[in-house]
Structure 1
Amino acid sequence: MNSPLYLDYVDETQRTEPRGPEGESLSRNWKVLGWTSVALAGALVVGSISAYGYARYLDSGISRVPVDKGLLTQVPKLNEAVNILLLGSDSRKDGNAKYGRSLVGQEPRADTTILLHLSPGGRQAIGISFPRDLMVDVPACTKGDGSKSLPQTTMINSAFGTGGMMCTWNTVQRLTNIHIDHAVVVDFNGFKGVVNAVGGVEICLQEDVDDSKSGLKLKRGKHTVKGEQALAYVRARYGFKDGSDLNRVKRQQQFLGSLAKKALSRDVLSNPATLNALLRSLTKTVTVDENFTLNKMTDLASKLKGLTPSKVKFITVPYTAYAPDPNRVALRQPDADEFFSQIANDTEIEDPTKKKVTNVPAAQIQVRVLNGSGIGGAAARVGEALTAKGYQVLSVGNPRKNPPSTQILYGEGAEDAATTLATLIPGAKVVPSAKTTAGVVDLVLGPDWTGKLKTSLPKKLDGEVKATDNICKTA
């Protein structure tokens, strides 16, 4: 449990029916990431439908759910980033019944809970996974029959079964303190349809695989998988030499990255036939909140024009063992809250390939704090906080001209001091300044100032998966 990205889904402990043929216990072996693939692909490309005459027709096929208005103001929106809650439903209705007929009459649960964070201008897209056996506080929710459920501490995937999309939205928003803009739900059959629509997804096997339970039988090397074969790949376990959940989850994350790379490629986005096939598949299986209108989708697409596969990555929330039950997990604090704060403030999680910077001891950093935030007394409070951390605060005051955003200006010889200070300031831009005294750093608080210093997480979370990773590279 040391790694924040180790997804140990204890499926076997949740089985509600005897172990039957593999096809009849699909959701227990499916292990979440397939639905993430569907939802992510849809979220990344669905806005492009405005370019086609079928736009309105396609939009009319999407199911929509009324929004609990209180959720829209529950957590303030701090910036122009868009956060979309992606849920994979294990519903057995309609064509999904074959994946577990004994579960047809049961309330669906969310086999996948992902918060997709999209920075404006296509700067980054981060898919944040919540293990389905993560223990959380689920608030009182309105159930399908109109009655109210009682607040409870339970697994996060139970929120969907209790009160559907809105209950999960409420749960995740309270848990993370991140403003959620929209929600998307997909079901089982969407996975195969999307994979087929993009022409299959490339995978790479390090060994020959013959898994009788999942039906996967492939030779070592690269393959392009579709439909049922893709489904078998993401749920296979026992046919691999390392049959651990960790190995299976890693393969699923790599599949997700490969799908995102394919969905963002010119082969999909510039090919009307391929894109339309993808969108038609999505409209048959997707449910969204009523505010996620066609106009909102197209507006989102315009904001993501700069998004490339190199800017797409997948991270699991920091977690640890749940003390009352080792078969469950809980958020690992304070890491989780620090991570959620970075996401809420749209702070980029730095890549270790970036320029190495020497950290300077706080006692050696001279800083002046200037308040251009519009918040009375902000400079004084930040100055006190920095002094408490050992920084040399030379003065506090106001800038001659308010900046468009929070900045850290540094004089000659103070670049390392400025970048060290930046680890505490959410979203601050580090900029050299000829007007700043040599050896001194000016912290200028802008209108985006949140009022809180932050603590840095590791530059790259252990186990992070990027869409551009070499799929054949061994761990």
Structure 2
Amino acid sequence: MAGRSVAALVGKIALAMVSVLVLGATGLAWGTFRELQGLGTSQAISGESSPPGSTQNILVLGLTTRKGMNGEDLPKEVLDNLHAGDSSVGGYNTNTMIVLHVPGDGSKAQAVSVPRDDYVTFVDGPLLGSTKGKLKEAYGKAKEQEQERIYAQGERDPATLEQKAREAGRVSVRKNVEALLNIHIDHLAEISLAGFYDLATQLDGIDVCLKHATSDTNAGANFKQGRQHLNGAQALAFVRQRDNLPNNDLDRTHRQQAFLASITTKLKEQGVFGNLGKLQGMIDVATKDVVIDKGWDLLSFAQQAQNLTGGNIEFHTLPIKGYAKDPNDPSSDINLIDIPYVQALVQTLFNPAPAAAPTAPTTTTPAPPPIKGGGSTVDVRNGIGEDGLAAKLANALSGYGFTKGEATSVAPQASSQIFYGTGAKEDALKLAQFFGGIKATASTSAAPGHVALWIGKGFTTPTALAGATAAAPTTTVPVPTEGPQGGAVDGGGIPCVD
């Protein structure tokens, strides 16, 4: 997307999420737990947390900052390895925000990625005079505002200024995430750039799988197609890359999830969580680079973390409606969101309805299908930015006589169109009429027997197309499936991504 910050860092999800697992796993041994008392702690969680062992909502934050815990500059050699610019770059945006929902009954956990550019009204605003802005900005604005306040009161110690100001940033982003998702956050974990590099290096890199060769000089990325092993610096480039990806930041979120799947698989296969000797290096990283809330009982969280390391997690990215220009910065884009829809989706994920009891079969004649295809392969190109729409439409149409083809995201489209290859004209015209009379055109670029549905501005999914999409609901919504968990897998639990 035009105007998005080239230096933005989102890769910390891996370290932050894995750090959560490490904290719980290492809590199994009291001696190791005592070592973890060196972790930085935060007072950002207010109110009463859920009792130990019960359902937990954990907010995982990744910062863009190139500075240490006390505001000190990172070593130049570290910055050089990261292709991340100097210590003045990056600010204090939370370019990674993940809510990890861990059920107390041991059932599958849900990890929800909150897009960083979601445009919100700050519930604790105004922040530096702004009442609205990108969600990622809440931390940095609140930090700067608090730092100015306590400096005016006479505080001059740089470390104290940094620590107290960061606390204000954590509180702000916690409050705004709670308000956006209509949930309570029980615990918080924060990590910054240095921590990611330290852990990625400690683990001797990761394995990833790419659908296509790609590069991004700004992030230091240059990757071939297929499965490959990345060292620490390459791993950071993998999750930082935004340029030359079909859907920019949303695709980068999918990369975060793919990275996490890779790293947790590696930890499990190497037996790290069962070997305190192997854990020592990771503990050293955690105590140096991770901040957690002061009330987090790591010993009680240990059993839940063991369950998570078994791969019992599902990943989701919250949907957006589209893009617009930032009113405060016309050169930058914002995500437009349907807040009631997002809140309903989170409730569906975190509090799923119990399975309905089986009912006696009925003799009612089923309704005729809304459309009947002749077998043509339908390729769906999503050009409106709604996360998961291409996959949902492709899946739905495959139930009505069409063959499921590719489901991909593309650059924004001004209008919807259909292109068809040899032998697919009849099916293309059926789809054109079904989708509201959009234009259908023969194209030599379309393969024989293929219909390409390009979704553009103003597109509305017919309500008759069961299972494709739904209007904003009051209680439950269909869960998005597009992303690494629904993509090709190259073996070993490593999903292939763009």
TM-score (norm 2): 0.59
Q: Give the Å deviation of 1:343.
A: 4.1
Q: Distance in 1 between matches of 2:97 and 2:16?
A: 10
In the alignment, the residues of structure 1 paired with residue 119 and residue 250 of structure 2 have an alpha-carbon distance, to the nearest angstrom, of: 20
The answer to whether the 8 Å contact 1:140/1:149 transfers is: no
**Per the alignment, in what secondary structure is the counterpart of residue 456 of structure 1?**
coil
Aligned match of 1:298? 299
Distance in 2 (CA, whole Å) between partners of 1:123 and 1:68 is 25
Residue of 115, 125, 129 corresponding to 2:99: 115
Distance (Å, rounded) in 1 between the aligned partners of 2:45 and 2:246: 45
Secondary structure in 1 aligned to 2:190?
strand
CA distance in 1, matches of 2:488, 2:289: 28
Does residue 80 (structure 1) correspond to residue 80 (structure 2)? The answer is no
Counterpart Cα distance in 2 of 1:84 and 1:169:
10
User: Structure 1 residues 95, 462: closer, same or farther in 2, change over 3 A?
Assistant: same
Deviation at 1:113, TM superposition (A): 1.1
Partner residue in 2 for 1:357? none
Q: Is the 8 A contact 1:258 1:467 kept in 2?
A: no
Where 2:307 maps in the other structure, the secondary structure is coil
Are 2:234 and 1:250 aligned? no
Tell me the residue number matched to 2:426: none
Q: CA contact under 8 A between 1:63 and 1:286: conserved in structure 2?
A: yes
- CA distance in 1 between counterparts of 2:109 and 2:73 reads 32
Note the C-alpha offset of 1:278: 1.4
Q: What does residue range 81-100 of structure 1 map to in structure 2 within 5 Å? A: 81-93=55-67, 94=72, 96=74, 98=79, 99-100=84-85
Q: Distance in 2 between matches of 1:241 and 1:344?
A: 30
Instruction: Tell me the SS of whatever aligns to 1:465.
Output: helix
Classify 1:54/1:244 alpha carbon distance in 2 versus 1 (closer, same or farther; 3 Å). same
Q: Is the 8 A contact 1:200 1:224 kept in 2?
A: yes
Alpha-carbon distance, 1:117 to partner = 1.0
Q: Which of 77, 86, 100 is matched with 1:101 structurally?
A: 86
Q: 1:186 to 1:308 in 2, by over 3 A?
A: closer
Asked whether the 8 Å contact 2:62–2:191 carries over to 1, the reply is: yes
Distance in 1 (CA, whole Å) between partners of 2:187 and 2:200 is: 23
1:461 aligns with 2:481: yes
- The counterpart of 1:274, out of the listed 266, 269, 278, is 278
Offset of residue 276 of structure 1: 1.9
**Offset, 1:462:** 3.0
SS for the counterpart of 1:115 is: strand
Match of 2:342 among 324, 336, 339: 336
CA distance in 2, matches of 1:212, 1:318: 28
Q: Secondary structure at the match of 1:173?
A: helix
Stretch deviating more after TM superposition (58-67 or 177-186): 58-67
**What secondary structure sits across from 1:288 in the alignment?**
strand
Q: Is the 8 A contact 1:82 1:181 kept in 2?
A: yes
Q: Does the CA-based 8 Å contact 1:202-1:223 persist in structure 2?
A: yes
Q: Compared with structure 1, are the counterparts of its residues 165 and 469 closer, same or farther at alpha carbon in structure 2 (3 Å cutoff)?
A: farther
Asked if the contact 2:125–2:131 (Cα under 8 Å) also holds between the matched residues in 1, the reply is no
Q: How does 1:389-400 map to 2 (within 5 A)?
A: none
Matches within 5 A, 1:254-265: 254-265=258-269
Q: Is 1:320 matched up with 2:310? A: no
The AA in structure 2 aligned to 1:176 is L
Change (3 A) 1:337 1:61: same
For residues 178-231 of structure 1, the C-alpha deviation after alignment (integer angstroms, 9 at most, x for no partner) is: 111011110101112222333421112345556544434454432222211211
Q: State the one-letter code of the partner of 2:307.
A: G
CA shift, 1:277, in A, is 1.4
Q: Check whether the contact 1:173–1:179 (CA below 8 A) recurs between aligned residues.
A: yes
Aligned pair 1:152/2:131, yes or no?
yes
What is the 5 A alignment of 1:8-407?
10=1, 13=3, 15=5, 27-28=7-8, 30=9, 32=10, 34-52=11-29, 54-67=31-44, 69=46, 71-72=47-48, 80-93=54-67, 94=72, 96=74, 98=79, 99-101=84-86, 103=88, 108-140=92-124, 152-161=131-140, 162=142, 163-208=168-213, 212-236=217-241, 247-265=251-269, 267-292=271-296, 296-307=297-308, 309-321=310-322, 325=326, 327-345=333-351, 347=352
- The amino acid that maps onto 2:185 is I
Aligned to 1:430: none
Structure 1, 122-131 or 180-189: larger mean CA deviation: 122-131
- The offset of 1:35, in angstroms, is 0.8
Q: Which moved more, 1:326-335 or 1:276-285?
A: 326-335
Q: CA deviation at 1:243?
A: 8.8
Between 298-307 and 177-186, report the one with greater CA deviation: 298-307
- Structure 2 residue identity aligned to 1:203: V
Deviates more, 1:462-471 or 1:175-184: 462-471
2:27 partner letter = S
Residue 61 of structure 1 deviates from its aligned partner by 1.9
Matched position secondary structure for 1:100: coil
Determine if contact 2:257/2:484 at 8 Å carries over to the other structure.
Answer: no
Answer whether contact 1:192 1:226 (CA < 8 A) is retained.
Answer: no
1:422 — aligned with what?
none
For 2:109 and 2:42, locate their aligned partners in 1 and report how far apart those are by CA, in whole Å.
25
> Superposition RMSD on alpha carbons, in Å?
3.7
Contact 1:67 1:291 in 2 (8 A): no
Q: CA deviation at 1:129?
A: 1.1
Q: Secondary structure at the match of 2:27?
A: helix
- Pair 1:232–1:308, CA change in 2 (3 A): closer
Do the aligned partners of 1:110 and 1:158 also contact (CA within 8 Å) in 2?
yes
Q: How many residues in Structure 1 have an aligned counterpart in Structure 2?
A: 343
- Give deviations 1:143-185, integer Å, cap 9, x for gaps: xxxxx86671211111111131111111111221211101111
Identity of aligned residues (%): 26
1:289 CA drift (Å): 1.4
Q: Which amino acid aligns with 2:132?
A: T
Letter in 2 for 1:278: M
> 1:76-111 deviations in whole A, cap 9, x for unaligned?
99x93211111111223235473333626x852212
Q: Which runs of 5+ in 1 are unaligned?
A: 1-9, 16-24, 143-147, 349-405, 415-452
Contact 2:348 2:475 in 1 (8 A): no
Letter in 2 for 1:87: L
**What is aligned with 1:445?**
none
